[in-house]
Amino acid sequence: MLVATDIHRHFEGMRAVDGVSLEVRPGKITGLIGPNGAGKSTFLAVLAGTLPATSGTIVFDGEDITRLPAYMRARRRLVRTFQLPSEFARLTVLENLLVAAPKHRGDSLFGALMGKRYWIDDERRLVGEARALLKQFGMSAKESDYAGTMSGGQKRLIEIMRALMLHPRLLLLDEPMSGVHPKIVEEIQHYLEDLRAEGLTILMVEHELHMVDRLCDTVVVMAQGKVIGSGTMSSLRRQPEIVDAYLVG
Amino acid sequence: MNTYYATTLVVYAGVDIIACLALNLQFGVSGIVNFSFIVFQSVGAYTAAVLSMPPDTANGGYQIYVGGFQLPFPIPWIGGALAGGLLAIPVGLVVLRKLRSDYQAISLLVLSVIVNSVITNARPFLNGAAGIAQVPGPFSDQVDPLTQSYQLLYVGLTVPCVLLVWLVASRIVNSPFGRSLRAMREHELAASALGKNPVQLKMTIFIVGGVIGGLSGAILVGYIAVWAPSEWLYPETIILFAAVIVGGRGNNLGAILGALLVPVGFFEATRLIPPTIGGWVPPPNLIPAMEWVAIGLLIIGFLWFRPEGVRPEARRVFEGGPDLE
């Protein structure tokens, strides 16, 4: 589904990502782990197009997307979430989801000037879709609250729901459990298991190793901008250099 | 209150409302800190002026300017609006594509200063610092501009423009397109990661704001009949920002309220200050200087104590949702 080959991302001589190659297979959850500063989030940003690659190629569903900006990758349904909360704070929770909806007749200057009657059918359909997601994630009661007033965990859920509104073919999750209350971590874990069961392909950066163990089919380990190993968690635990580099403790 | 004063107030209010609605679309809704807004109003004014005036040789050559096409209404107003939009294209392409929002604001402020300096010093272009005078208003060849009837006619031309701009602004703000603009304002990177093209969004609303700003200048110049660089120095933009901040960023009604409170109400109120206070005659520039101090304090006060303004941006509650607490 996604093949990244020899990806480099340098910041004024600092090699944050240094020749990473990786393949994400459809219908699987791939984990990306490694110590802080390993380049995981930078690599994810390069895949999503929020940072350009210094060199290397990214092929998504047979198309070379290396030079495409983030918004064009998202329109191809390659969608990311962020390590830090990135909610639209002064939009309501429901509006946060509706922003992500693609192909809305009212989402252009022309559509807006045509008036509500021109786009209201799309709006009703998408509000229904967004409410179904809110119900699935147990946040129906919060739909009219400003997203900026939500807790850290709820903001994570908003990000995941927002990404799902795009019907992603590949979902890139950047530390979805980071800074989240353990109860909501459990909830997110269940939701991700449900999404996997529905066949969604996910590439996930995560520090919670028991979560990675439970959710991910394949795990890639990065350190100092390079891939130092890949496989299942149990196979990785048998590799001393990986245990030394990251898995100790 | 005589009719002339009342109609003048209505036309000024109309122009300020149109300008504040445009600035609200750019700054309040989309987060573009357009510190050069007054330039767009001015380009609309100059364009309307040279479209409606006779050639500069026709009046004895006491002022020089390009154009002088003597075109009938509404062409000068439409031309003024288009000029504002056209100017927004190169400015937007340079400023909005690559720069961070704070650098955008600085660049636009600098642009305002540069354009004013160029127009002031390049006299053959638009008569330099002296500006253009004797700009004919709409239908001024058919109705005497010094009559009460003409004043009412001008109000009759201004009010539909205000309503049209309000309709356009309302449709944008309350649409899914407006929602995308607000999302971009809140978190541009996240919006782009959801398929929104931030450059396209910013360029679109910048051009729309330029068109509306240009229209406001065209209306104003037809009424006051003069336009000079001293009238559109960069601080004039600050007054409009004060209006939008006081009224309520992101809220069209707030922008209208701000226009009525700050550029119209506030400056009209200063006329009531007596020329002498208990026998003391203040220095001639004291009151204008104090107006600027007061505008500054007004902005700081609102940003400190009520940043959302008098009428905050409305929360969008959808039919069938849970009741708000």
Predicted confidence at residue B162, as pLDDT, reads 98
Q: How do residues B42-55 score in pLDDT, each as one tens digit?
A: 999 999 999 999 99
Using the structure block, give the residue that is written with the tokens 């229209």.
B215
The minimum CA-CA distance between B140 and chain A, rounded to whole Å, is: 33
Q: Which residues of B touch A109 (CB under 8 A)?
A: 172, 177, 204, 208
In this complex, do A144 and B324 lie within 8 Å of one another by their Cβ atoms? yes
Residue A78, classed as helix, strand or coil, is: strand
| pLDDT tens-digit series, residues A159-176 | 999 999 999 999 999 998
- The confidence score (pLDDT) of residue A55 equals 95
Tell the burial category of B225 from Cβ atoms under 10 Å away from its Cβ (0-12, 13-18, 19+): middle
- In chain B, the residue whose alpha carbon lies closest to the alpha carbon of A140 is B322
Put simply, the chain A residues between 68 and 97 with a CB less than 8 A from any chain B CB are: 69-71, 74-75, 79-80, 82, 86-92, 94-96
Query: Is the Cβ pair B187, A86 closer than 8 Å?
Result: yes
Q: Which residue has the tokens 């047979």?
A: A62
Are the C-beta atoms of residues B261 and B243 closer than 8 Å to each other?
yes
Task: State the average pLDDT over residues B320-325.
Answer: 67
Residue B59, pLDDT > 80, answer no
Contact B318 A127 (CB under 8 A): yes
Taking only the tens place, the pLDDT of each residue in B127-140 is: 999 999 999 999 99
pTM of the model: 0.93
What type of residue is B266? F
Instruction: Please indicate if any CB of chain A lies within 8 Å of the CB of B179.
Output: yes
Candidate from A104, A112, A144 with C-beta closest to B321? A144
Q: Which residues are within 8 A (CB) of B302 and not within 5 positions of it... i.e. 6 or more apart?
A: B245, B246, B309
DSSP letters spanning B241-282: HHHHHHH-TT-HHHHHHHHIIIIIIIHHHGGGS-SSBTTB--
Q: Decide if B270 contacts B298 (C-beta within 8 A).
A: no
Interface residue B201 vs chain A (CB under 8 A): no
Q: Please report, rounded to a whole number, the percentage of residues in chain B having pLDDT higher than 70.
A: 99
Domain A2-87+167-247 has CATH 3.40.50.300: yes
Phi and psi for A165 in degrees, rounded to 5?
-60, -20
Measured between beta carbons, which residues in chain B are less than 8 angstroms from residue A82? 189-190, 193
Q: What is the pLDDT of residue A249?
A: 46
Instruction: Name the DSSP letter for residue A159.
Output: H
Contact A226, A36 (CB under 8 A): no
- The answer, for B220 touching chain A at a CB cutoff of 8 Å, is no
Residues of A in contact with B174 (CB under 8 A): 116
B250 CB-side CA count, 13 A = 20
Q: What is the mean pLDDT of residues B147-173?
A: 96
Q: Please count the residues of chain B.
A: 325
pLDDT in tens, B179-202: 999 999 999 999 999 999 999 999
* Three-class DSSP category at A26: coil
Confidence band of B112 (pLDDT split at 50, 70, 90):
very high
Contact between A123 and B176 using a beta-carbon 8 Å cutoff: yes
- Residue type present at position B267: F
Q: What is the mean pLDDT of residues A205-225?
A: 89
pLDDT in tens, B261-312: 988 887 777 777 777 777 788 887 888 888 888 888 989 999 999 999 999 9
Q: Given this model, what pLDDT does residue A182 score?
A: 83
Does residue A239 surpass a pLDDT of 90? no
ipTM surpasses 0.90: yes
Set of chain A residues whose Cβ sits within 8 Å of the Cβ of B313: 90
Q: Chain A contacts of B196, Cβ < 8 Å? A: 71, 99
The mean per-residue pLDDT over the stretch B248-258 comes to 96
Using one digit for the tens of pLDDT, what is the confidence trace for A30-63? Answer: 999 988 888 999 999 999 999 999 999 999 999 9
Three-state DSSP class for A66? coil
Average pLDDT over residues A117-135: 96
| Contact status of B316 with chain A (Cβ, < 8 Å) | yes
Confidence band of B172 (pLDDT split at 50, 70, 90): very high
Q: Does the structure show a pLDDT above 70 at B325? A: no
Question: Which A residues 44-73 touch B at CB under 8 Å?
Answer: 48, 50, 69-71
User: What pLDDT is stored for residue A141 in this prediction?
Assistant: 94
Here the tokens at position B78 are 């439409």
Residue B123 touches chain A, beta carbons under 8 Å: no
- Which residues in chain A are classed under CATH 3.40.50.300? 2-87+167-247
Residues A67 and A108: their CA atoms lie apart, in Å, by 25
- pLDDT bin (cut points 50, 70, 90) of residue A234 is confident
Are B37 and B213 contacting, i.e. CB atoms less than 8 angstroms apart?
Answer: yes
Q: What's residue B217's pLDDT?
A: 97
Give the lowest-confidence range in A117-126, A179-188, A228-237, B85-94: A179-188
Question: What pLDDT is recorded for position B131?
Answer: 92
Confidence of residue A79 (pLDDT cuts 50, 70, 90): very high
Q: How far apart are CA B157 and CA B288, in angstroms?
A: 31
Report the mean per-residue pLDDT for chain B. 92
Q: Which helix (H) or strand (E) holds B165?
A: helix B148-173
Q: Do A113 and B189 touch (CB under 8 A)?
A: no
A227: tokens are 């891939």
Question: How far apart (Å, rounded) are the C-alpha atoms in residues A175 and A23?
Answer: 19
More confident residue, A191 or A97: A97
Q: Peptide bond before B263: cis, by omega within 30 degrees of 0?
A: no
- Contact with chain A for residue B182, Cβ under 8 A: yes
Say which residues have a Cβ less than 8 Å from residue B53's Cβ, sequence separation at least 6.
B65, B67, B68, B69, B70, B132, B134, B135, B136
Report which of residues B38 and B59 the model is more confident about.
Answer: B38
Q: Give dist(CA B19, CA B16) in Å, integer.
A: 5
Alpha carbons A213 and B155: distance in angstroms, whole number: 73
Torsion over CA of B74, B76, B82 and B86, rounded to 10 degrees? 170
Name the class of domain B3-305.
Answer: mainly alpha
Mean pLDDT of B154-164: 97
Question: What residue spans define the domains of chain B?
Answer: 3-305
Considering only alpha carbons, which residue of chain A is nearest residue B29?
A90
Chain B residues touching A100 at Cβ < 8 A: 194-195
Residue A161: closest CA among chain B residues belongs to which residue? B194
